[in-house]
Structure 1
Amino acid sequence: MSAAAARTATPAPARSRRKAALGWVALVVGLLVVALVGGTLVFGGYAQRAILDPESAGPEGSRAAVRILEQQGVTVTVARDRSAAERALAGGGATLVMRDAPMLSDEGLRDLAGRAAHVVLVEPRSRALDILLDGSALGGFSADLATSPECAVPAAANAGTARVGELLRPGDGVEGCYPVDGEFGLLHSVAADGETVTALDGLSVLTNTALPLDGNAALTLGVLGQTDSVVWYVPSLSDADQGTTAPTLGDLTPDWVTPALLLLLTAALATAIWRGRRFGPLVAERLPVTVRATETTEGRARLYASSRDAAHALDELRRAARSRLGRLLGLTARTSPNDVADAVAQRLGADRAQVRGILVDDTPRTDRELVAAADRLRDLEESVRAAVRTEGTTR
């Protein structure tokens, strides 16, 4: 070997150590990345624009409602904090649309609502209803029900039938629309100075998915488009009144906790590097024996028989039979047992309850009942096979 070749050749142990070092470096870098991402999410906050967000085009966003208002000449201003909402409402005469704002105090909520000519609560909660709608409260829930208004509120009367979800109970002097079992899908109150407060479940009316249904679009335009200017307030965690901000986790823990956690993490990482062992290459090992599938099946059957667990044994037979029936009927592997039974009953024109008993419900208590249930399973599967073959032949 020449001197140049000797200089360029790298011993195998050196290459192995280099690969091991690179592996540990990659592990440390990965842990640091995970720590940085986790710290950002936990301590830096995470803002997701989705539910009832006026700029979200997702199913639960409300950008379609904003576009309808703008097409009718209404100016929509999205305020993502309290100060921006107050500046937008400074001119007076605007409609304030707001979600629930738990960070605002009662006085802060009254102050912000008092700056608008009309207030629309699109995510009403008990506190806001009690303060702004004279003791109104949350009621029950009616899942996506189309209801007629049955009230004299112009926006609701002109819209006609609309969807309701969360129901509300009106306070004194508050008018309710879209009644369901004594509760209402929309509440409306008019103050002495002409200011109105309206509350409705925005998830059932204002979202991009719900807006095209029934009279939801007309109701949205009537309630939100009462003025030429709409201020859509999206609450922020920084909107709390001075002195009422909830303490953070860092404020509640002693000063020594963070250094102690960092020290523990450093010690754990050092221990992992010190005591870590690199796995060697995979070694192929031949099994000493090969067991046939029939022997395994017979062994499990003897275990079931010795334990006298007829129900468990029948469950295994049913699971296999439902799988084969599902393939015969073109069902997916995720189809539930009840759905498989319904499909079999429909194909055979048999009683649905009887087929469900064979494939799902019947519980044997003795070996004799287990054998009878197995025979019924076999007969049912043969009937389905015959029906499928007959249908394929006729075609």
Structure 2
Amino acid sequence: MAEQLTHDPATEVVGDGGSASGTARTRFRRFAPWLALGLLLVLVVVLGFFGRSGQDGTALSPVNPAPAGAMALAEVLSDRGVDVVQAESLEAAEASVTEGATLLLHDPDSWLSADQLSQLSGIADRLVLVEPTTIMLSELAPTIRQAGLIPAAEADVALPAACQVTDATAAGAITAGGFAYRGDLICFPPTSAQGGPPSGSYAATAAQDVVALGNGAILSNESIDREGNAALALRTLGATPVLVWYQPTPADLAPTDALVDPLNLLPGWVNPVMLWLLATALLAVLWRGRRLGPLVAEPLPVVVRAAETAEGRARLYQDSSSLDRAAANLRAATLLRLALRLRLPATSSVTEVVDAAARHSDRSPADLDKLLRTDAPASDAHLVRWSQDLDSLEKEIDAR
């Protein structure tokens, strides 16, 4: 029989010698980066929902101070005596248009149907269409037609007026971008249009009562001060004492309209967040993959049940007559489980566990000390009875 180890009762430790606080600190350090990333993601989502409460984040909105908004232009128009009215719906736009008013219509998502667009035809002295679609032109300005996109390569190029329209010649040149149009009056032709049918970033009817601006960015806070953008915007939108600024929303959809693409209803922050989540997932895959390595299928001749593993280990103890080793394992496991049940640290000594167990059971400290410390089974039958006594003690503590 293997030599039996002796233990100092005053210093014997139940657990593995580590402290609970030390384990907690280790786990916190391990998960701290992921916890910080999760909190940052939650913060971004919260800011996306509530960070701009009270502000209109719509591009070219007259009350949006962001780079894509048009608040700067609206304020300058107001300072010049133009009454800028932001219409929140089709009905509000119709009601706000008075005699001698200009109506600005910006509907890049085509929320208005053909019938709704026809309601706006002729109600204002001047109609300014920002980046109009084909259906908008067919209903509101049949003599103006789309001529395609202005190439991105010309984005940093200044387009000269190259026409006799007073508003355009006063501006001199504007920044390129957006769409080109053909009409009775054409200004700011893109370089790519040379040699083909005339087209320009600015088109108007012969009476100049309908104007199509192909590049809405010239009205934005970010670009209003470039080239002659401000001059063209102020003269085009400030020609009348009232400017009704109308940007349709999903609320303007006619009840009989076909359903629109649900993706168009998502807020603008969804795509960046989804890209961030995808990047985070890829980083996690790379991190875990490098740490664990590739998955390898290990062919096993047999599948061993957990119960058979425990029985096999018990038979090894039995065949080697290692009663002391088996008893030591049973004693250590029982002491650890009792310490957890009695809310004691894992480093508690046997004496501390015995005292706590005595307070939570009907057994005396002497009996518990004998069971948990001094009993040394001398035979297999004794070992079985002793293990049953340990199990009974745990059940008694649980019942309390």
Query: TM (normalized to structure 2)?
Result: 0.47
Query: TM (normalized to structure 1)?
Result: 0.48
Which entry has the higher C-alpha Rg, 1 or 2? Answer: 2
Select the structure with the greater relative contact order (CA < 8 A; seq sep ≥ 6).
Answer: 2
